[in-house]
Structure 1
Amino acid sequence: MLLSTVYRCVDLISDSVAVLPLKTYHLDADGFKAEAKSHPAYYMFNMEPNEDMTRYVFFKTLMASVLLTGNGYAYIERDSKMNAAQLIYLPSSQVTITWITDRLGIMRKRYQVVGFRELVDPRDMIHVLNFSYDGIIGVSTLEHARQSLGIATSTEEHAEGFFKSGASVAGILTVEGTRLDEKKKDQIYQTWEERTNPITGHPNGIAVLEGNMKYQPISISPKDSQFIESRQFNVVDLCRFFSVSPVKAFDLSKSSYSTVEATQLQYLTDTALAVITKIELEINRKVFLPSERGRFIAEFDTSAILRTDKSAQAAFWKDLATVGAATPNEVRRENNMPRIENGDKAFVQVNVQTLDNAVKEKVAEPQNNPDLSDNFWVSK
């Protein structure tokens, strides 16, 4: 996380999930949804998953654990009626997956948690996996990016050392025609260090050499070693592992306004949607009781992404209102405005009609007006 690219990618993806409200819906027989605000899980999902965290903190912490360790855990604490009362975040270092044999001889997965006296059943544990080879244990993104992280870290360490040394290069100081003893060598070393030290000396100054001394650099310059290009490539390479565009990591070297706009849409469809889906599926199959499955569902409200984009938000609600999919009061409610009278009915446009109705219209005789051409007709 000390690498700026890794920090940005983890922060971006976890924030994308944390800012979205997680709402509980009731499904009728025809599949239509209505917010189930009276359901016990509604407040827990949307406001306070547990007594120590808000929804934002909980999902941000959970997603950071998924990306950095490969697994995100949350224990489902239930009340006396087996309804979910809290989602308690558990650090991945405190959870171990173990296997037991049931009475039929079948191996069953269980979770062993530090501080818990008994093993936890899978139905009581939210387990969000990162990339996984077996569907049981997730693999950290950093594990796959180990080589790229090593190169990026080495590049940053080299940059730190380079600038600490006064942006100077190493070399050989040659004394011609004279054989120096150890005492004289140490004196030259000390004098050179005092002169060129980036903290106590004058790293950008001029070193004066004796008549028989010559300095020859032996290191290549940062430009020759493609130092700057390497640092830029590290950004792109690490972004690939997190499925994040370099533009989202503030690498704007090859971007334009249209690129930024397209990148935002691509990020939502290629990165954020996959993360949101895996969390929704895990919650819906474990939090709700077996008798509630198929009747209640939890989904992230992705319209919150448009919250700061007023033009896109206005276009979205205008299109819904035009086709009668939203009433004026529904639009006002979602935009934090009070209810208005007669605003609970949907409206549709009536300035177009079908061809059948157009043909059925009767055509009247032309008006007796000499100033009008015969081509003008008046329809009843």
Structure 2
Amino acid sequence: MSVFSRLFKARDKPKNSLFGNAYSFFFGGTSSGKTVNERTAMQTTAVYACVRILAEAIAGLPLHVYRYKEDGGKEKALTHPLYYLLHDEPNPEMTSFVFRETLMSHLLLWGNAYAQIIRDGSGRVLALYPLLPNKMTVDRAPNGELFYTYRRDSDESRVNPKAGLIYLRSDEVLHIPGLGFDGLIGYSPIAMAKNAIGMAIACEEYGASFFANGANPGGVLEHPGVLKDPAKVRESWNAVYQGSANAHRIAVLEEGMKFQPIGIPPEQAQFLETRKFQINEIARIFRVPPHMVGDLEKSSFSNIEQQSLEFVKYTLDPWVVRWEQALQKALLLPSEKRAYFVKFNVDGLLRGDYASRMNGYAVARQNGWMSANDIRELEDMNRIPAELGGDLYLVNGNMTRLADAGAFAGKNNAKTEGSKVEQITKTKTGSPLLELDTKR
């Protein structure tokens, strides 16, 4: 075996332990000196807004299980057991919205989302329960198969209060990984952008402390003589002038004292600009348009609709595909994967305004590729009975094939010439039609 082959084999050898998210904060503390983790980051308004927007968007999308039809189409598999679990209740304690919102928030903060799969004897899914990503470790067995180790605390289960490790097979865990180094474990976006988030936390703390100390703590009281009790003077000053409620009060100085401010005002330190930039920086991490987190500086009536469409196309769509493929891989039986598939419906988010939708429906209806019931279903309206024409596909009568245009015109000309000959014949024979034509 060559040296290159030996190096290649050693590099590609599977690791025994992937350590879950234990390496999230391997690179040390933040430059701002603030502690940043998945929980403290949520106290930043921009992070909370981005996580909430994406989690609620994924949770609110209609989720269906479809079956392939023999004619090449598809239909909802309403009788499949998985349809009710994904669409309504994954487990007796959660709705589908809460379940997907929880897993999506885990995915955005920790980079991974886990759920335990409860199956029956035949392998069909009975329930799905979320698992915390910071307690999960992904390992590889000697035979190369992946298995999951979950660290359960004593307060998590009243049925089995003993703390310890729970080992789960790969078919017992729904794992949705985010962007990662190896394709198996996603890394935490909060850990990757901890300096930006730490700076945002530092800016918030600075602003809060500035307004809490309205006496401008960066100032100095100068006395011409020697003070016997400086602490008493400082406490007296703070008692009267400290705090936002005492701002702009007139100070009275005695014994020749002078107040010398040495602090830098927030305007000069570009405090507000820094906070605004950090909001855009965090929105950039999650690829959320700034107008969705409250920054409307660069938004207008002409471009905000386009930005919303780009949010669905470039932000939500990759997450949707990631969810769909993970659900199909983990929840469908091997014998079902060629006949069934899971799909989110994002059509509702891509809708335009009412006038645009009606114009689009009119074009589709007149050109024959949508029926009245197709349109009514998209607008969440009841179907028109088939006997009243609700399922008819109509086409504009003025439209015909180019090859038939001449023949169609020739037939009309022949009918016209025939009617003229018939009228002349009836006129010569004294037909009553002659009187009708004369009167006309």
TM-score after normalising by structure 1 = 0.87
> Is 1:87 paired with 2:128?
yes
- Show the counterpart of 2:399: 352
- Show the counterpart of 1:98: 139
Choose which of 199, 204, 214 in structure 1 pairs with 2:248: 204
Structure 2: distance between partners of 1:356 and 1:308: 38
Deviations 1:52-109 (A, max 9, x none): 111111110000000111110112211222111212211213322122112xxxx221
What amino acid does structure 2 have at the position aligned with 1:156?
E
Judged with a 3 Å threshold, the aligned counterparts in structure 2 of structure 1 residues 4 and 318 are, in CA distance, closer, same or farther, namely: farther
- Show the counterpart of 1:194: 239
RMSD: 2.5
- Show the counterpart of 1:329: 373
Choose which of 276, 300, 311 in structure 2 pairs with 1:232: 276
Structure 2: distance between partners of 1:307 and 1:167: 53
Contact map agreement 1:19 1:304 (CA 8 A) in 2? no
SS of equivalent to 1:160:
helix
What amino acid does structure 1 have at the position aligned with 2:236?
T
- Show the counterpart of 1:41: 82
Q: Please say which of residues 355-364 and 86-95 is displaced more in the overlay.
A: 355-364
Structure 1 segments unaligned to the other structure (5+ residues): 369-380
Alignment of 1:148-159 (within 5 A): 148-159=196-207
Structure 2 segments unaligned to the other structure (5+ residues): 1-41, 153-163, 421-440
Structure 2: distance between partners of 1:299 and 1:59: 14
Structure 2: distance between partners of 1:49 and 1:111: 21
Deviation at 1:315, TM superposition (A): 4.8
- Show the counterpart of 2:349: 305
Identity %: 30
Deviations 1:335-361 (A, max 9, x none): 232433332232233322232222221
Deviation at 1:260, TM superposition (A): 1.0
Deviation at 1:215, TM superposition (A): 1.5
> Is 1:214 paired with 2:258?
yes
Structure 1: distance between partners of 2:331 and 2:364: 32
SS of equivalent to 1:128:
strand
Structure 2: distance between partners of 1:294 and 1:192: 78
> Is 1:70 paired with 2:115?
no
Judged with a 3 Å threshold, the aligned counterparts in structure 2 of structure 1 residues 150 and 300 are, in CA distance, closer, same or farther, namely: same
Contact map agreement 2:200 2:278 (CA 8 A) in 1? yes
- Show the counterpart of 2:62: 21
Judged with a 3 Å threshold, the aligned counterparts in structure 2 of structure 1 residues 236 and 63 are, in CA distance, closer, same or farther, namely: same
Deviations 1:149-178 (A, max 9, x none): 1110010001101111127352121123x2
What amino acid does structure 2 have at the position aligned with 1:109?
L
Deviation at 1:31, TM superposition (A): 3.5
Structure 1: distance between partners of 2:262 and 2:282: 32
- Show the counterpart of 1:110: 147
Structure 1: distance between partners of 2:172 and 2:371: 40
Contact map agreement 1:169 1:221 (CA 8 A) in 2? no
- Show the counterpart of 1:343: 390
Give the 4+ runs in structure 1 shifted more than 6 A: none
Deviations 1:214-248 (A, max 9, x none): 22111111100001111110111111100111111
SS of equivalent to 1:132:
coil
Deviations 1:270-314 (A, max 9, x none): 110000000000111221111111111110111233689544554
What amino acid does structure 2 have at the position aligned with 1:197?
Q
Judged with a 3 Å threshold, the aligned counterparts in structure 2 of structure 1 residues 117 and 24 are, in CA distance, closer, same or farther, namely: same
Structure 2: distance between partners of 1:300 and 1:289: 20
What is the aligned length? Answer: 360
Structure 1: distance between partners of 2:357 and 2:335: 37
